[in-house]
Amino acid sequence: MVRCAENARVGQLHRQCRIGRRVAYISDSGSRSAPNNKVGLIVVDFVMATARRVLDRHPSLQVEPSVTVMAYGAEVWPGKPLRIGINGIALSPNGETLYWTVTTGTRLHALPTAILRQTSASEAQIAAAIRDLGAVGGNTDGLVTDARGRLYITDVTGNGIVRYDPATNAMLLLASDEGVHWPDTPAIHPDGDLVFTSSHLNDHFAGNVRAGEERFELWRLPLERRQVKAD
């Protein structure tokens, strides 16, 4: 997962960008090195043409040992537990805060981007700046922030969307629908609504989807009316 800050661009990557700093943040979930995931965060500076890895295997990015990924009321991939570390990441509108969650986990974390841009900052200093913002309520995938700085988290366990408001530190299951199977890739529509995908990824992991029967949906959540509908 990649999040760009301050007018960063690599090919077609250009997300949540603001003028000035030209920095991108990339999450490494370490899923290919499971079960001992080699998680980390990559900081790419386009002005200096450098990239460095920070928070290598840090617990806040790592799989939570006691957590089982649940989707649609069942364990995902029984007998071969799904172990995905840091996955969804998002920037605050001003680019000053980086948020992330762990898919095989339940908590939301945040970190000031200023310390990530300080190349002289030690691993200990970066780690000390991490904030645990609390339990989301289930397993997660993608994240996005709106113009007011509120964070929307896809809840693959609850078939819906959780909202975190940094102004109040409140975590709320904003909407849930039985028709949503593994919500992911949220984005804010130009009209202010939230759009996200329903990929049935849990069924793919289980081998329950035959070729030609794949189903991928795009959903829209009107943020003020809190009604979920499929497009």
For residue 101, being part of any structural domain is answered with yes
178: tokens are 């039985």
For residue 136, being part of any structural domain is answered with yes
The domain tally of the chain equals 1
For residue 46, being part of any structural domain is answered with no
Taking only the tens place, the pLDDT of each residue in 179-220 is: 999 999 999 999 999 999 998 888 877 777 778 777 889 999
| CATH code of the domain in which 213 resides | 2.120.10.30
User: Closest Cα to residue 194, out of 69, 58, 90, 54?
Assistant: 90
pTM score: 0.86
Task: Give the range of the structural domain holding residue 97, as residue numbers without chain letter.
Answer: 64-230
Taking only the tens place, the pLDDT of each residue in 115-160 is: 999 999 999 999 999 999 999 999 999 999 999 999 999 999 999 9
Q: Could you tell me the end-to-end alpha-carbon distance of the chain, in angstroms, rounded to an integer?
A: 25
For residue 51, being part of any structural domain is answered with no
User: Closest Cα to residue 182, out of 83, 100, 109, 76?
Assistant: 76
Residues 12, 149: Cα–Cα separation, whole Å: 24
Task: Go through 41-71 and write b for each residue having 16 or more CB atoms within 10 A of its CB, e for each that does not.
Answer: bebbbbeeeeeeebbeebebbbbeeebebbb
